[in-house]
Structure 1
Amino acid sequence: MKGKLDITVSIVLYNENIEELTKTVNCFLNISLNKKLYLIDNTPKKKFQNVFKNEEISYIATGKNIGFGAGHNVVINKIKEVSNYHLILNPDVFFKPDVIPSLIKELESKKELAMIAPKVLFPDGKHQYSCRRYPLISELLARRFIFLKPLFKEAIFKGTYRDKDLNKPFFAEYITGCFHLYKTRDFIKLNGFDERYFLYMEDVDICKKIDVLGKKKMYFPSIEITHVLKQGSSKNISLFLRHTSSAIKYFSKWGI
């Protein structure tokens, strides 16, 4: 649309690796589109305030850690009527300059699509299985407790769509939230993320909200990105408890 930015992007920051973040920001800056990047700093001491100086980057300090979803929602009123597309991006994701324009072309070609996401790889090139069926409680438990994985191997296998040809695009139930490219108007209609989730499960929840909106999400594997993926909840008891709390909220909201 005339006068609008092609794309806005939001990245929520907390304990980030500055080298990874710089690489992610540079990936964005290398895109040949009219664009704006919002860096939402959730650190109390404004750790990232003077790190990046660029007219295409806008820095927002929240003053405290308000969480992933609430952090991204800070920009809702800023992007409304401003951009055609909005990207939810993690600070440890790397991609080539043609990735976003290619995804925009596919997203725009299908009226029923609200969001699209590419194939996600680990830095070593292994598949991250970012497109998934809606989770079962047993599957979530098996992902967190290694000793349970043999008991729920089939649930994990099907939950990550490994029973499908993952080299072909399809409408996935949900896609993990490291890279969600939305039509801005749909992200606004969704009212962004449910802020009751401080961390974890908000990406599953927003995919459910897309269903309620009557729209779809597409996994588009011919386009690839790299995601470092910290998997903090499997290593940190505090993050594990946050993940558990979010799972309880999710199943209470949407049912088992």
Structure 2
Amino acid sequence: MVIVTGSIVLYRNERNILLEAIGSFLLSGLVTKLYLIDNSPTDELKDIAADARIEYIHNPSNPGFGAGHNIALKLAIQQGATYHLILNPDVYYAEGVLEELTDYLEKNADIGNIMPKVLYPNNEIQRLCKLLPTPYDWIGRRFNPFKKMVERRNDLFELRFTGYDHIMDVPYLSGCFMYLRISALKEIGLFDEGIFMYGEETDLCRRLIDAAYRTVFYPKVHIYHHFEKGSHKSWRLTKIGMQSAIYYFNKWGWFFDWKRRLINKDILRKINSQNK
């Protein structure tokens, strides 16, 4: 029996947008539990939705995105979940998305994480499939004044050249929608709580790959993501992003990360062979 759980980490969210995310997840008959982990200072969102499958947990200490989801993941493991969806509060999608992704996971036991095509509400595609980042990708690229140089790197780093139109292994998938195999998490561990926000999904994807699990982009179904680059609008979030990048590169390696080069090279080889 397939048991599906999910979690949304909240922080002072707009109620109407959050309701879209909650409603989308609860559309699926596979769902047994949705954990709302509220890192907000107050619990004013506790009455956001009435459904027996929802469990609201107020967590005002705000330990971060990954740590918040870890609270839910530990409960999901206790519940005997098969798959768990990490869902952003600004994502929504139609009925059937979770069913198709679940079916694909059931047929491919080597997949640890799967992400559908992600669109803006105006139907433009979001380029959220990426190679494992170098320090330039996460730090230098943002401050590079030469736009043509940045665009050339984006075409490769964000795998834009693929067209985002076929199933492919991708080493770094967005944290806005991570559909995870629980048995894989039992093997590799949960989110690294040393990362407060930004980069925790990269770290998790990399650990899945290290354990021989695939992280897969599946464009046959799509979701919508409002997606505001908060770190580009707030100095506080920029600082958090920089701290996360430093933590990540201290953990995995800065410029002499041979395994990153090997993983990225292998991914590009597979993609290029698919495109022939």
TM interval, shorter chain, is over 0.9
- Aligned-pair distance for 1:146? 6.6
Name which of structure 1's ranges 246-255 and 27-36 shifts more when overlaid on structure 2: 27-36
> In structure 2, what is the Cα distance between the partners aligned to 1:178 and 1:142?
24
One-letter code aligned to 2:55? S
Q: Secondary structure at the match of 2:160?
A: coil
Instruction: Give the structure-2-normalised TM-score.
Output: 0.87
Task: Describe the shift of the 1:198–1:128 C-alpha distance in structure 2 as closer, same or farther (beyond 3 A).
Answer: same
Task: Describe the shift of the 1:146–1:17 C-alpha distance in structure 2 as closer, same or farther (beyond 3 A).
Answer: farther
Does 2:50 align with 1:53?
yes
May I ask how many residue pairs the two structures share in their alignment? 253
Instruction: Give the structure-1-normalised TM-score.
Output: 0.94
Match of 1:66 in 2: 63
Does 2:40 align with 1:43?
yes
> In structure 2, what is the Cα distance between the partners aligned to 1:246 and 1:148?
25
> In structure 1, what is the Cα distance between the partners aligned to 2:177 and 2:75?
20
8 Å CA contact 2:21, 2:92 repeated in 1? yes
Percent identity of equivalent pairs: 33
- Aligned-pair distance for 1:147? 2.5
Task: Show the 5 A alignment for 1:24-35.
Answer: 24-35=21-32
> In structure 2, what is the Cα distance between the partners aligned to 1:138 and 1:150?
15
- Aligned-pair distance for 1:142? 5.3
One-letter code aligned to 1:6? I
- TM superposition outliers: structure 1 runs of 4+ over 4 Å: none
Task: Describe the shift of the 1:143–1:226 C-alpha distance in structure 2 as closer, same or farther (beyond 3 A).
Answer: farther
Q: Deviations over 1:29-82 (max 9, x none)?
A: 221224210000001222312222210100011122110000000023211152
Q: Deviations over 1:68-111 (max 9, x none)?
A: 00000002321115211100000010111100000011111112
> In structure 2, what is the Cα distance between the partners aligned to 1:164 and 1:142?
24
Match of 2:137 in 1: 139
- Aligned-pair distance for 1:140? 2.1
Q: Deviations over 1:170-192 (max 9, x none)?
A: 11111010001011221233321
Match of 1:127 in 2: 125
Q: Secondary structure at the match of 1:10?
A: strand
> In structure 1, what is the Cα distance between the partners aligned to 2:137 and 2:146?
9
Match of 1:239 in 2: 237
Q: Structure 1: where are the runs of 5+ without partners?
A: none
One-letter code aligned to 2:239? L
Task: Describe the shift of the 1:142–1:128 C-alpha distance in structure 2 as closer, same or farther (beyond 3 A).
Answer: farther
Name which of structure 1's ranges 179-188 and 137-146 shifts more when overlaid on structure 2: 137-146
Q: 2:176 aligns with which of 175, 178, 196?
A: 178
Q: Secondary structure at the match of 2:132?
A: coil
Name which of structure 1's ranges 204-213 and 181-190 shifts more when overlaid on structure 2: 181-190
Task: Describe the shift of the 1:143–1:47 C-alpha distance in structure 2 as closer, same or farther (beyond 3 A).
Answer: farther
Task: Show the 5 A alignment for 1:97-246.
Answer: 97-141=95-139, 143-145=141-143, 147-246=145-244
One-letter code aligned to 2:74? N
Q: Structure 2: where are the runs of 5+ without partners?
A: 255-276
Higher normalized helix content (fraction of residues): 2
